[in-house]
Structure 1
Amino acid sequence: MKTLIKKMIIMVLLIGQYTLSNAQVAGKIDKLNMGKVEPYQMEVTYNKTSHLIFPAAIRYVDLGSDFLIAGKSEDAENVLRIKATVRDFEEETNFSVITEDGRFYNFNVLYNTYPSTLNYDLLTMQKIENRENGNDVLFEELGRNSPSLAGILLETIYNKDKRIIKHIASKSYGIQLLLKGIYIHNGKYYFHTELRNRSNVPFQIDFISFKIVDKKIAKRTVIQEKPLTPLRIYKPLDEIAGNSTEKNVFLLDQFTISDDKMLMIEFYEKNGGRHQTLQIENIDLVNARLIKDIHLKIN
């Protein structure tokens, strides 16, 4: 009798522990579902290629199985082409995409010989579904700054268009380059520039460079130059038409320089000689205007 009672007690304890364990697992799953990234549903076929147009350039693509093949379209960094590698696959598969603005997308995919849609505009879909404020992926080069926040700051500085620096500029042959402001936020610099073309001849940009050089330019060598690469640029800038003005904002890592060096920002004209150069000293860098917080309060 005592043995039977002991067995019953052990059984009750085991059942209780199993129930508690299942409840804990279910609770964790429920919490995980709160952060669930809802997938888009799409169909692919073997004989035709589907295209997805993303709001920003594609940085990463991962395919869930060998049933799919995908790649970025040539000369279109934000367009992904995808199709089936085998006919009539029966199992659902998936793929994921991360774009340069830090957004993560995932798709569940089924095979259909005659899919109703082949081309998708993700920006339009997001607006319809109110998914504009989606998940953010952090990139190593941006540190604590999310790509979407960096994008907002670039856009805000561009649109506010304040000239807080009045002493850094260059001018020749009807072309004038201004440094309108230097801003700092979470260990990143934002350089606000403006290029004015007061001539009738378009100014075609060959390339733009940021580099640290010795102040004694005559003795400068290649070894003494330290090039800097912008992490983000607000917009591509290829040409400034005659009698027009173009602004831009460049995002760079935080740095300082010694008193015997300076930062040079150079805009080179393609097949021309109207190059423009800005010279920035350390005092200008350390006096960068502070962006206080994500509410975009600029001192």
Structure 2
Amino acid sequence: MKTSIKLFVLTSFYVLLNSNFLYAQAYKAPDTIYANDHQQVALFFPAPIRQAVTGAPYMVFTYNKDHPQYFGLLQAKEGAISNLFVIDQQGKVFSFVLKYREDLPHFYYFFTEEDAVGSEAPLKKNSVETAKAKSSPYLERLSEHFLRRAKGTLRRRENSGVVLQVKDIVFHNERFFVVMEINNSSGISYEPDQFGFYISTKKQGKRKSMQTLPLEILYAHSVPEKVLAGTTDRFVVVLPKITLPNNKEIMARLFEKQGARNIELKLFKRHINGSNKGK
């Protein structure tokens, strides 16, 4: 009798486990996630969460930073539409639209690797040093020249008093010299942790997701270790020759070390194809 009960319990547990697995596999993750301020919404990812940031303070996504887990909890107060970026420990990047809603359609969401909008392959500080070591004095002189002459601003994005700008893009000798600037008008020093360029292809369809691939960085000049409060630092990133069709764009992503002041800045066809000629 005891053996029969044990078999029944094990069989029931097996069926329940497989039913939940099949449901998760069949579940189609949406682009838009709804949340409110009196219920928790759980988001489950294929790997533990490494970093996450929302676009507005009234959208709050909490996750375990000390001991990374596969899920995070979302709550929101009524306000304008916002967004959420999540990067897991496998480098997969997830992007969602966030909306407030009094009656929630779901209390949990399961995501797979296929739901990611791209993969992270940022330029880390040791990669910057490697790029410098492999560069020639020729690239260093050119970078310094374009750094000094850059005027105006092509693109800018801000997050909590930290502004990332593209000051100039110069095409010279089959390379793009991108002059960047970090302006820190906040009261706290800013330490760049990871910085990289990515080329994105807009995928058509219901979800309209982005396929993102990292761009090789040929040389990096004067990338700051720290931008003090109230100061500005400029640097140059050298990229290979790029031609952008209408369905592609370039993203510059800057992540803060041990912080959430992360910035994503887009460059379009008109910026790349209309770049200045180097002299």
TM-score w.r.t. length of structure 1: 0.46
With structure 2 as the length reference, what TM-score do the two structures score?
Answer: 0.49
- Whichever of the two has the greater Rg, that structure is 1
